[in-house]
Amino acid sequence: MASPIIFTVCSINQLANAIVLGDSLKIQNSDYHFQIGLVDKQSNIPTNIQSPYPIIEVNLLNIKGFGEMSERYTHEELVANCKPFFTEYFLQKTEKLIFIDCTSVIFQSISFVSDILDQSNIILTPQLLFANVHPDEKQILNSGIYHAGFIGLKKSDETLKFLKWWGKNTSTKGFKDLCKGLNTDQLWLEHVPAMYDGVYILKEAGVNIGYWNQPERNITQLKLASKLYSINYRDGQFPKEYIEKLKKYSHKKLSKIKPTFGIEDSNKPTLAKTIAMKIRTLNNIVDLIIDKFFS
Amino acid sequence: MFAPHFMTLVFTLCSVNYLAQAHTLGDSLREQNPDFEYVIGLVDKLETKEIDKSKLPDYQLLEIDKINISDFAGMCERYNITELNTAVKPYYFDYFLKNRPDITNIIYFDPDIIIFDKLTHLIENLTENNIVVTPHMTTPYNDDKWQREEDIINTGIFNFGFVAIKRSTEAQKMIIWWCDKLKNECIIDLCNGLFVDQHWAEFFPVYFDKVFIDKHLGNNVAYWNLHERLCSFVNNRWVINGNIPLHFFHYSGYLIAKPNEVSKYQNRINFEERADIVPLFELYRNQLLAKNELYWKNFRCDYIKPKKAQRLVRVRKYTKLPLEKLASFIEKL
């Protein structure tokens, strides 16, 4: 049997992150093959940068409607929405597959994931595990019960059925629009335990720790108990030691390379927009005053 | 095996205007499961109304102001009638857990449900699990009609017209947490992840142990899953897809005044294309009329609040104008 593959998906601007993830895996998961799905043109990688891990360019997948996806989605949305297609691609090469966000770092062997896959088709990782600990549970609920940054998959008819459905939704309805129940590839996962058989909900506090669940996870304690498996720095502050590792692979230089596919995010908060929003919040005091004294 | 010595209590929640529905549910339950106790939780007051007592259903009525909700006045102040009706659900569970030590299983059904079978399957699942929930659907829609797959995501994968618990530490933990959430945040605010009691319950399988997602096709059959379920009447019983017993049907959003519409909340399922469900709805309509729907539907709930009108709209607008202008200017920079 082919060894399990662990893969990530990114554009060139996060290639250094992906390589650091690969390095962290190699230390205690040497039986895995690590591969990088690239939503970008491989030829745009500066020639002096060599990835120690195989890179699969998105064009190789021949995703149906990729051209439209590229014109419709922001760079970030597009990377997320290509995930089901890379998953399908890698499942042709292996029986067991793990997707990990490129902003993650692995701290010890995750072979237990592979063991769980003996009995299951799909492994999902919840964002939160403990009731009433996170100070604002509804914001997490809004973005998804499950986090799309750590997913396990076994090659099976059921998994392939899931991937067809997931890919259909990410290629047509992969926007980030929480008011409409859309959050790229992630919110679709809500349906998975109800729609597919053999779905395992991984309740392991040491897996995929990120800003969204930090209030309920104690990294020091997990480390002491040898239960710290992975931290995901996505959308959060990069700590010093992580930045040091990124430096080795020209992160600064790579992060400035504009992705070939996808569009600019017009909703990205700019300084001007943030100030305008603050002024409007301040202005709403008028309502409070009127409600208090005149009603 | 079904253990008959375990006591099961079933309850529903409604206001007086929905008593025909609650009555219909109770009768269907009694017919199929006479050993289950049935309670109608009333989010309303009886003594404020002139009610023809002979029309009241012969079931226990438990008014909301009798179950000692700690901040009930605050909840009435904060919530509109839909929010209040859904927010009190875990508080009734809590009340039964505390005041009915003889009861092992507690099951909630929305009043607009009819039970078609013995609930043996459900009780068996409760012996193995702490909490049982039912998903809206178990297969994709493959169309873009209303409601879409993302609408279901926005409001909740599981339908909370049904939920069952077994007396256990884990279920108690769940009820306490759910009560806590619904005290202040049982509102509809989709942009912030809120949809009354239902969306919060998305956390059940990840927060609590032994939560069973019951995918039996005979459960909670309704417009949201009829795309995968064909109904037929075989050998004197209703079945799904030819041989699966129909456990309970949920007539969500059906109005007796609009008998040609399956539900006001959707446009996927209609009677023209789905002749199979027509007799199920005829049955429901006749049941409701027999249970005095036309009498009950006109009672006004005591907990309906007058709509808050915003005062001094113009004063607000002009007071805000200078800062709003500044904000728009900065935004364009």
**ipTM (interface predicted TM):** 0.92
The larger pLDDT score, comparing residue B305 to residue B11, is at: B11
Q: Under 8 Å CB-to-CB from A97, ≥6 apart: which residues?
A: A4, A5, A6, A7, A87, A90, A91, A152, A153, A154, A155
Cis peptide upstream of residue A119 (ω within 30 degrees of 0)? no
Quote the pLDDT of residue B158.
98
- Asked if A216 and A135 touch (Cβ cutoff 8 Å), the reply is no
Quote the pLDDT of residue A30.
83
Looking at the fold, whether A105 and A207 belong to one and the same domain comes out as yes
Q: What is the DSSP letter of B55?
A: G
In a 3-state reduction of DSSP, which class is residue B50?
coil
Looking at the fold, whether A19 and A91 belong to one and the same domain comes out as yes
Please give the model's pTM, rounded to 2 decimal places: 0.93
Given CB atoms, is B120 within the 8 Å cutoff of chain A?
no
The pLDDT tens digits of the residues spanning B186-203 come to: 999 999 999 999 999 999
How far, rounded to the nearest angstrom, does the alpha carbon of residue B306 sit from its chain's CA centroid?
A: 24
What residues of chain B lie within 8 A of the CB of A294, using their CB? Answer: 311-312
Take residue B102 and report the two structure tokens written for it.
């003889």
Mean pLDDT of chain B: 95
The larger pLDDT score, comparing residue B139 to residue B309, is at: B139
Please report which confidence band the pLDDT of residue B314 belongs to, taking 50, 70 and 90 as the band edges.
confident
User: From CA B210, how far away is CA B216, in angstroms rounded?
Assistant: 17
Question: Which of A90, A108, A107, A109 minimizes the C-alpha distance to A99?
Answer: A90
**Closest Cα in chain B, distance from residue A79 (Å):** 20
Domain coverage including residue A255:
5-264
Quote the pLDDT of residue A90.
98
Looking at the fold, whether A139 and A278 belong to one and the same domain comes out as no
Given CB atoms, is B203 within the 8 Å cutoff of chain A?
yes
For the segment B139-168, the average pLDDT, to the nearest whole number, is 97
Let me know how long chain B is. Answer: 333
Quickly tell me which residue has 């072979």 as its tokens: A111
Quote the pLDDT of residue A15.
98
Looking at the fold, whether A61 and A155 belong to one and the same domain comes out as yes
Q: Which amino acid is at B84?
A: L
pLDDT at B5 over 70: no
High-pLDDT (> 90) share of chain A, %: 87
Take residue B112 and report the two structure tokens written for it.
């607009």
The larger pLDDT score, comparing residue A162 to residue B142, is at: A162
Take residue A198 and report the two structure tokens written for it.
């053999």
Mutate to test the interface with B, among A129, A133, A138, A212 (most CBs of B within 10 A): A138
What residues of chain B lie within 8 A of the CB of A165, using their CB? Answer: 140
Looking at the fold, whether A200 and A166 belong to one and the same domain comes out as yes
Looking at the fold, whether A273 and A260 belong to one and the same domain comes out as no
CATH number of the domain encompassing residue A10: 3.90.550.10
Quote the pLDDT of residue B218.
98
Contact B191 A294 (CB under 8 A): no
Q: Which amino acid is at A206?
A: G
What residues of chain A lie within 8 A of the CB of B138, using their CB? Answer: 194-195
Looking at the fold, whether A275 and A140 belong to one and the same domain comes out as no
Looking at the fold, whether A24 and A115 belong to one and the same domain comes out as yes
Looking at the fold, whether A153 and A280 belong to one and the same domain comes out as no
Select from A142, A194, A275 the Cβ nearest to the Cβ of B330. A275
Looking at the fold, whether A101 and A134 belong to one and the same domain comes out as yes
Select from B138, B140, B206 the Cβ nearest to the Cβ of A145. B206
**Closest Cα in chain B, distance from residue A292 (Å):** 11
Q: State the total domains in chain A.
A: 2
Q: What is the 3-state secondary structure (H, E, C) of chain A?
A: CCCCEEEEEECHHHHHHHHHHHHHHHHHCCCCEEEEEECCCHHHCCCCCCCCCCEEEHHHHCCCCHHHHHHHCEHHHHHHHCHHHHHHHHHCCCCEEEEECCCEEECCCCHHHHHHHHHCCEEEEECCCCCCCCCCHHHHHHHCCEEEEEEEEECCHHHHHHHHHHHHHHHHCCCEEHHHCEECCCHHHHHHHHHCCCEEECCCCCCCECCCCHHHCCHHHHHHCCCCCEEECCCCCCCHHHHHHHHCCCHHHHHCCCCCCCECCCCCCCHHHHHHHHHHHHHCHHHHHHHHHHC
pLDDT at B78 over 70: yes
The pLDDT tens digits of the residues spanning B254-269 come to: 999 999 999 999 999 9
pLDDT at B1 over 50: no
For the segment B153-176, the average pLDDT, to the nearest whole number, is 98
Given CB atoms, is B169 within the 8 Å cutoff of chain A?
no
Please report which confidence band the pLDDT of residue B6 belongs to, taking 50, 70 and 90 as the band edges.
low
Given CB atoms, is B55 within the 8 Å cutoff of chain A?
no
The pLDDT tens digits of the residues spanning A175-227 come to: 999 999 999 999 999 999 999 999 999 999 999 999 999 999 999 999 999 99
Quote the pLDDT of residue B98.
97
Looking at the fold, whether A252 and A147 belong to one and the same domain comes out as yes
Quote the pLDDT of residue A1.
52
Please report which confidence band the pLDDT of residue B332 belongs to, taking 50, 70 and 90 as the band edges.
confident
Q: Which residue of A has its CA nearest to B173?
A: A131
Looking at the fold, whether A109 and A189 belong to one and the same domain comes out as yes
User: From CA A203, how far away is CA B211, in angstroms rounded?
Assistant: 13
Low-confidence ranges of chain A (pLDDT < 50): none
Contact A280 B327 (CB under 8 A): yes
